[in-house]
Amino acid sequence: MKIDSQTHPLQARDAVLGVAFATIAALAVIGAVAALSSLAPRAEGAALKSLQHRFPVPSRHAYGDGVGAGRGHQGQDIFARCGKRVLAARGGKVQDRGRHSSAGNYLVIDGRRTRVDYVYMHLRGNSLARQGERVGRGEKIGKVGQSGNAVGCHLHFEMWSGPGWYEGGRHMRSVTKHLRRWDRADG
Ligand SMILES: [Zn+2]
């Protein structure tokens, strides 16, 4: 995905949220769409179970807010000390990286042999991975930070169903379940 100021996906999200919270009617529409489309992520989640992943924060960590906690929270927060390693949960191609007022330094990886995108936010400094670069599962892609709108050092991690992050996919509510499974497997 090419970044430019007109179509930056996070700016688009901000705009969408602004409209959504402006009227009750808009919220009702969003709810209806979410209800209609709730089957797809489960199927995708089942398929993901057979693919190898790595828990992205190998140091001591604690789970914070999950999906839906607070307005528009679309991922799972994992608290760890600032500067600790962030690993690629799934290998793939770096689809997007940049800096955003809320997300801070962020990275989006198009997961290898999945239709899922993996999103990492609030990184300390720029991610080590470059746009378009391929990274392997478990490869270091950055450091835990608190860049952007973050209180305390943590990784904000999202998973998006196909075709992906702001490409027509949706954030997956099952992200926490997946993380906990990988966490147990790596522990
Ligand atoms: Zn978060």
By C-alpha distance, which of 95, 61, 103 is closest to 81? 61
- Please give the model's pTM, rounded to 2 decimal places: 0.79
Measured CA to CA, the distance from residue 133 to residue 140 in angstroms comes to 13
Dump pLDDT digits (tens) for 135-169: 999 999 999 999 999 999 999 999 999 999 999 99
Q: Tokens standing for 157? A: 């991690």
Distance from residue 77's CA to the centre of ligand 1 (Å): 5
Does the structure show a pLDDT above 60 at 115? Answer: yes
How many whole angstroms from 165 Cα to the centroid of ligand 1?
16
Helix or strand holding residue 185 (H, E): helix 175-186
Compute the distance from residue 90 Cα to the ligand 1 centre, in Å.
19
Q: Given CATH 2.70.70.10, say whether it is the number of domain 41-186.
A: yes
Domains of the chain by residue range:
41-186
Query: 112 pLDDT exceeds 60?
Result: yes
pLDDT band of residue 72 (cuts 50, 70, 90) is: confident
The C-alpha atoms of residue 166 and residue 131 are separated, in whole angstroms, by 17
pLDDT at residue number 38:
47
> Which residue's structure tokens are 């489960």?
42
Residues at Cβ < 5 Å from ligand 1 ion: 77, 156
- Residue 150 CA to ligand 1 center (angstroms) comes to 7
Mean pLDDT, rounded, of the chain: 84
